[in-house]
Amino acid sequence: QNQWFMNALPIIETIEKHGYQAFFVGGCVRDLLSGRPIGDIDITTSAKPEVIQELFDKVIPVGIEHGTVIVRYNQVSYEVTTFRSEGEYSDNRHPDEVTFIDELDKDLERRDFTINALAMNKDGEIIDLFGGQEDIQQKIIRTVGNASERFKEDALRMIRALRFSSQLGFRIHSNTLKQMTTLRSDIQHLAVERIEKECAKLFAGDYVSYGVNYLEQTEIYRYLPVFSKYPILIEKVNPDLNPLLSFGECIAYFHLLLPDVTVKEWIKSWKCSNQLLREANEIVTAYHQYNNIGLDNWLVYNLETDFYEGFVRVSNLMGNNRKVSLDNLFKLQNELPIQSRKMLAINGNDLVALFPDAKKGPWLQKLLRDIEKAVVYREVPNSKQEIKEWIRCNPPVIN
Ligand code: ATP
Ligand code: MG
């Protein structure tokens, strides 16, 4: 674990050598002190982004206006952010201005929670102005400063509190929690994309039931897309929820809990990508097939390998008596006669040639699909000759 910090040490040393300050900060220090695996290393510094660009060979200016650049060093990315203090917030979303400063204190003061407001210098000494170490020890999430003010500045912090609770298994401090309940409706003004990022982490957390309990208790869910329209949904969520590692899995699961809300509606309301749409749809389709017919060749053939784990997690959450195991899926997949349509011994052109008088139409796709299915189920061997014979016995309806 310390290796992560050792690898980053030269960055801090280089910055200091040029007369600026630099510290490890935020999540990595929190994770180090709580014995969790480190996700990534963030560095905070008194040097302005332009200086950092001068000091290192590979610098990606990802958010210069906010003072953030990525330094690539030995194939690893480090987020390096200039000390800043945030000005007034007039929209519960973004600070009106970002001011660069040259002291660490103010930078730590603008951070959301005490456990995230820790810094560490190159010698491993911790800078803890708000009792973050004690809160880690006590497993408490507490805002830096006045909870009400901090949530009014940025309502996303309320959802972040839930997500850290879910990731770390920490309780939310009573006053912080009280203000979340009071101010929850401010969440509706946030950009959905920001909410989605935090919620995805919430449902993926090792202690997801903590987060979901708070979501229910504070009634924050009433201000989340879809949940606001279908409040009954939260009651259907399994109280022993296991982590769902991608938001596509979450959507599949929630849709299966409440089929009234289509996957499409979820994707639209949460402004999710097409990738998540595909993932949710594939998991839902596989689940229905599993539920109706069971685990078989056709199911594993159609499900993208990347979604196997998600399918297993969602299926097992749906409280079926039969548990699905990943091993079974892979075993079935390995024994498939073909892995994809490309491996089929016959193609669209062959079929067109077989029916020279027929016009191209939907029948062609349907026939290909039927052949695929017959081959996958081993009703016919994957050879051109045998498939042609099969077609003679199962002639397509041409339309
Ligand atoms: P993770 O390991 O999940 O990345 P993290 O603590 O690094 O956790 P980030 O969202 O990457 O979380 O944010 C990095 C740091 O920036 C936080 O630790 C916190 O100090 C600060 N921060 C991020 N978002 C906010 C916010 N909305 N308000 C105040 N401070 C924030
Ligand atoms: Mg981070």
Tens digits of per-residue pLDDT, 217-273? 999 999 999 999 999 999 999 888 999 999 999 999 999 999 999 999 999 999 999
DSSP state of 89: B
Q: How far is the CA of 50 from the centre of ligand 2 (A)?
A: 22
Tens digits of per-residue pLDDT, 14-28? 999 999 999 999 999
Which tops the pLDDT comparison, 86 or 158?
158
**Is 160 labelled a binding residue?**
yes
Pocket test for ligand 1, best of 111, 170, 206 (most atoms within 8 A of CB): 111
Can you tell me the distance from the alpha carbon of 162 to that of 213, in angstroms, rounded to the nearest whole number? 9
Average pLDDT rounded to a whole number, residues 273-293? 97
Tokens matching residue 311:
């399918």
**Nearest CA residue ID for atom 11, ligand 1:** 27
Given a contact cutoff of 8 angstroms between Cβ atoms, the answer to whether 22 and 43 are in contact is yes
Domain with CATH 1.10.246.80 in the chain: 341-393
Q: Which of 257, 235, 242 is nearest to 316 (CA)?
A: 242
**Average pLDDT in the chain:** 95
Tens digits of per-residue pLDDT, 186-227? 999 999 999 999 999 999 999 999 999 999 999 999 999 999
**Is 135 labelled a binding residue?**
no
Residue 88, pLDDT > 70, answer no
- The residues with which 76 forms a beta bridge, in sequence order, are 73
Domain with CATH 3.30.460.10 in the chain: 1-136
Look at residue 296 and give its three-state secondary structure.
Answer: coil
Domain with CATH 1.20.58 in the chain: 238-336
Q: What is the pLDDT of residue 91?
A: 60
Look at residue 113 and give its three-state secondary structure.
Answer: strand
Distances (CA, A) of 175 to 109, 158, 179, 180: 18, 12, 6, 9
Helix spans in 169-307 (H): 174-183, 192-204, 208-217, 233-236, 247-257, 263-269, 274-292, 297-302
Count of C-beta atoms within a 10 Å radius of residue 124: 10
Residue 34, pLDDT > 90, answer yes
Average pLDDT rounded to a whole number, residues 141-153? 98
Can you tell me the distance from the alpha carbon of 266 to that of 281, in angstroms, rounded to the nearest whole number? 11
Torsion angle defined by CA atoms of residues 203, 230, 187 and 63, in that order, rounded to the nearest 10 degrees: 50
Count of C-beta atoms within a 10 Å radius of residue 84: 19
Ligand approaching nearest to the C-alpha of 164: 1
DSSP state of 342: G
Can you tell me the distance from the alpha carbon of 189 to that of 169, in angstroms, rounded to the nearest whole number? 28
Tens digits of per-residue pLDDT, 315-361? 999 976 678 999 999 999 999 999 999 999 999 999 999 999 999 89
Q: What is the pLDDT of residue 328?
A: 95
> Which residue reads 């299966």 in tokens?
256
Show the ligand 1 pocket: residues with CB < 6 angstroms: 26-27, 39, 42, 111-112, 116, 154, 156-157
Can you tell me the distance from the alpha carbon of 387 to that of 304, in angstroms, rounded to the nearest whole number? 25
| Fold that domain 139-224 belongs to in CATH | Hydrophobic Seed Protein (1.10.110)
Average pLDDT rounded to a whole number, residues 66-78? 96
Average pLDDT rounded to a whole number, residues 293-305? 96
Which tops the pLDDT comparison, 216 or 66?
216
User: Which CATH architecture best describes the domain 1-136?
Assistant: 2-Layer Sandwich (3.30)
Return the CATH number of 238-336, one of 1.10.10, 3.30.1490, 1.20.58, 2.60.40. 1.20.58
Q: How far is the CA of 386 from the centre of ligand 1 (A)?
A: 60
DSSP state of 321: S
Residue 128, pLDDT > 70, answer yes
Domain with CATH 1.10.110.30 in the chain: 139-224
Residue 143, pLDDT > 70, answer yes
ipTM of the prediction greater than 0.90, yes or no: yes
Can you tell me the distance from the alpha carbon of 351 to that of 372, in angstroms, rounded to the nearest whole number? 13
Can you tell me the distance from the alpha carbon of 214 to that of 144, in angstroms, rounded to the nearest whole number? 20
Return the CATH number of 341-393, one of 2.170.8.10, 1.10.246.80, 3.40.50.280, 3.30.980.10. 1.10.246.80
**Predicted confidence band of residue 394 (pLDDT cuts 50, 70, 90):** very high
Ligand approaching nearest to the C-alpha of 115: 1
Q: How far is the CA of 296 from the centre of ligand 1 (A)?
A: 44
**Is 163 labelled a binding residue?**
yes
**Is 42 labelled a binding residue?**
yes
Q: Which helix (H) or strand (E) holds 350?
A: helix 348-354
Average pLDDT rounded to a whole number, residues 130-138? 98
User: Can you give the pTM of this predicted structure?
Assistant: 0.94
Residue 65, pLDDT > 90, answer no
Residue 92, pLDDT > 80, answer no
**Predicted confidence band of residue 94 (pLDDT cuts 50, 70, 90):** low
Given a contact cutoff of 8 angstroms between Cβ atoms, the answer to whether 361 and 396 are in contact is no
